[in-house]
Every structure is written in C-alpha cells, then in structure tokens.
Structure 1
Amino acid sequence: MPEIYFDVRWPDGQQERCYSPSLVIQDHLDAGGRYPVGDFVQRCESALGEASERVKAKYGFYCSSAMDQLARIRTRAEDFDPSESEVLVEGFKPGAR
C-alpha cells in the first residue's frame, strides 16, 4: 500500500509533516489548498479513517500510525479558532518503500 506524507503550515506559521498510509488523503486535500482549521480536521478524519480501513481490508488490522497522526492533528488544531484560522497544505511527498 503506497504511503504518502503531506506538509502543512499551521496558522501560527509552524510547518508539520503528516503521514497517511494511503494516497486517499489526496482525495480529501489539495496541494496549495487552504482550509479553515475545523474543515481541515474533518477532512483528515475522513481521509485517515478511510486509509486505516484500507489497511484493515488488506492486512487485517487498522493502521495505528494513521490514528496517531489524526490524534496529533486534533491536538494541534485545539490551539486555533476552528472557523477563522486556516491551514495550508503545502504539498505531498511519496513515502519511502
């Protein structure tokens, strides 16, 4: 299953590299896209949940790395107003094989 990283810039200017075990994240986020924090979290919840389900379908267990990443995104998002602050998706980078 191809993994991918996505680089985001939080409203305070901090950059973070995030992980997805599946390319499905690209169905939910666009490179260069700006999303209100609340919308960004919801998109990540959908994408990482779907990615984890794909891992389960293929390997028989959910992807703990996807759920750990989602937890970090949720925690980080708590620092910002969910509707007024924006997260920038700077781009995607294929994972190592």
Structure 2
Amino acid sequence: MTVDQPATSRHGAASENAGPRKAGPFDIRVVIAGLIGFYGTVLIIMGLVMDSAANRAKTGDVNANLWAGIGMAAVAAAFAISVRLRPVIIESPAQPMESVGPPR
C-alpha cells in the first residue's frame, strides 16, 4: 500500500466513508417503531386474553386494550414504512475532523 492509497477494510471499501450512507438502525424512527410496536403487541394480547365483562363495563362496552393496541401497531407500521421509503442519508464530512484546526 502506498501513501496515496487509503486503507481498506476487510470488505474492500475505504476505511473513511467516501460517500453518503443510510442511518440504518440509528434512525430514531426505528427505535420509536420498535417501542410502539412492542407496547401495541402487549395491548393486543391483553385485549384478547384478559377481556371480561367487568373491564368492558368500565369502558362503555369497548375492548379498549385491543383497540389501543391495534392503533399502536398501525402507528408502528407507519413509522417502519417511512424508514424504508425515505431513509435518512448521512453525508460524509468534506474535511476529516482531525485536520480541522481550532476556530480563529
């Protein structure tokens, strides 16, 4: 390897990110979709398993856990779809941080 060539990783790409890349699992929408989806799944299960006449009487004969869980699952799906359709693109810096001097 000469001085002019950048070091490469085991995949053959330059060690410094040469181009834009996706945020992937570090996108906040992935975290939000996961949390809302988890809680929605728990509510759906609770709505199906723990449904009783006493619980329905409290909510006006509506299975609140089931409907809230379905709504949360739909919101989580919307977040997941938005991550796939419009990923966040991270641009590589124009100048490496090491070569940037103190402000003057």
Fold in common (TM above 0.5): no
TM-score range, shorter chain: 0.3 to 0.5
Larger helix share, 1 or 2: 2
Structure with more relative contact order (C-alpha pairs < 8 Å, separation 6 or more) = 1
Larger strand share, 1 or 2: 1
- Please identify the structure whose Cα radius of gyration is greater: 2
